[in-house]
Amino acid sequence: MRETFLAYIRECGVWNCVSGIRILANEIIGVMKWSVLVDNRTNDPVWATEHGLSILLETERHRILLDTGASDLLVRNAEKMRIDLSTIDYVFISHGHSDHAGGLKHFMTINDHAKVIVSPHAMSGAFFSKRLSLHSITAEWPMIPRERLSVVNRSGEIAEGVYVIANIPHTRPMPKGNKNLFVLNHEGESTLDDFRHELALYTDGFLFTGCAHSGLENILAACPYPVQTVVGGFHLLDEYESEDELTALARRLRAQYPNTQFFTSHCTGDHVYEVMKKQMGEYLQAFCCGYQQSISTSPHPRQRSRHEDDSDTRQLTDKSEFTNERSISISRCRKHRTGDNPSRVSRQARGAGRL
């Protein structure tokens, strides 16, 4: 099953994966690029892996580090990718778990100016997991100068064209794997984590979900702008949701977001990916350490009206706003020749991890 999850990755060039998304010329404002610095999986032994996630997002206006992994691995892999972390403008921490915020202290030794965007509940919480065995997943937070800390309590624009989604309503199904994740309350007692510390980030049609503990459908529903690309973990572990539940979820995503491209890895299980891939086809793809992709960006987003139908907005074919229907095609990427050995892939790959 792990080989199935990585089948797409084995066929992709680590350095030359470019999206084939086509948008009408008069709707394109630029190109953004995202590069995976930390993930559980790799298709090339040159990249070290760990249970964690960190992605560099480069837009026309900003360089944003999306999560920091669990250790200094983002620094080591960035050096190999010739990425200068000192030039990053913002660090976005999706939630308070150590596999997403643990690398921040290492990043801070390299970068002396980037603002850190985080929920106050992420920094104040003590988190742990009971999966397999009781263990702490609380991040070790470095000292962050006040002028560099942007604490987010509610959704809004935190930089030009960059939006943070907070307080995500849980009206749709949540990942069942959350049942093992707890937080200490003010009395020192453990309570089931309600993920009030989780944030999502949106810019120019790109939505970063972190681990999507709040549920992928809930995050998409909370985003008030049209989404072309979703990147992040789904927190769907292999031993929890049934195949019927996963199939139904995949079908709902295709029906409600027919023009949205989904990319996942990290906390998405190998079998989960296989089941959902059967329903979503080319609209669900896998990423791994070293993966890079460039995508065309959409115009400045038009916020949905409260009275606007959700499905109409999501399809990005609002005839009142656009006179021509947009078309999307995903190009097939070529195999990266230094990392295409199937047995090597199998040895290097790691599953959805311990959380």
Please tell me which residue, 351 or 96, carries the higher pLDDT value. Answer: 96
What pLDDT, on a 0 to 100 scale, did the predictor assign at position 204?
A: 94
β-pairing, 261-264 vs 229-231, is parallel
Q: Measured between alpha carbons, how far is 228 from 224 in angstroms, rounded to an integer?
A: 13
Q: What's the token pair of residue 142? A: 């470095």
Radius of gyration of the chain measured on its C-alpha atoms: 19
Q: Measured between alpha carbons, how far is 351 from 107 in angstroms, rounded to an integer?
A: 25
**pLDDT confidence of 133, banded at 50, 70, 90?**
confident
- pTM equals 0.80
Residues 107, 85 contacting (CB under 8 angstroms): yes
Residues 50, 40 contacting (CB under 8 angstroms): yes
Instruction: Share the mean pLDDT of the chain.
Output: 81
Helices 270-280 + 243-256 axis angle, to 10: 40
**pLDDT confidence of 232, banded at 50, 70, 90?**
very high
For the chain, percent of residues with pLDDT exceeding 70: 75
Average pLDDT over residues 124-144: 92
Q: Outline where the chain has alpha helix (H).
A: 2-5, 7-10, 73-80, 98-101, 104-108, 120-124, 216-222, 243-256, 270-280, 310-314, 342-348
Q: What is the pLDDT of residues 33-47, one digit of tens each?
A: 999 999 999 999 999
Please tell me which residue, 307 or 292, carries the higher pLDDT value. Answer: 292
The CATH-assigned architecture of domain 2-348 is 4-Layer Sandwich (3.60)
What pLDDT, on a 0 to 100 scale, did the predictor assign at position 171?
A: 97
Q: Measured between alpha carbons, how far is 50 from 41 in angstroms, rounded to an integer?
A: 8
What pLDDT, on a 0 to 100 scale, did the predictor assign at position 248?
A: 98
Q: What share of residues in the chain are helix, strand, coil (percent, to 5)?
A: 25, 20, 50
Q: Is the pLDDT of residue 75 over 60?
A: yes
Q: Measured between alpha carbons, how far is 159 from 202 in angstroms, rounded to an integer?
A: 11
Average pLDDT over residues 204-223: 97
What pLDDT, on a 0 to 100 scale, did the predictor assign at position 132?
A: 83
What pLDDT, on a 0 to 100 scale, did the predictor assign at position 189?
A: 85
**pLDDT confidence of 344, banded at 50, 70, 90?**
very low
With CA atoms as reference, report the closest residue to 284 among 300, 268, 296.
Answer: 268
Helix (H, G, I), strand (E, B) or coil at 123: helix
What pLDDT, on a 0 to 100 scale, did the predictor assign at position 30?
A: 78
Which residues touch 233 (CB under 8 Å, ≥6 apart)? 53, 209, 210, 211, 212, 264, 265, 266, 267, 268, 352
Q: Which amino acid is at 194?
A: D
What pLDDT, on a 0 to 100 scale, did the predictor assign at position 334?
A: 25
**pLDDT confidence of 303, banded at 50, 70, 90?**
low
Average pLDDT over residues 166-187: 94
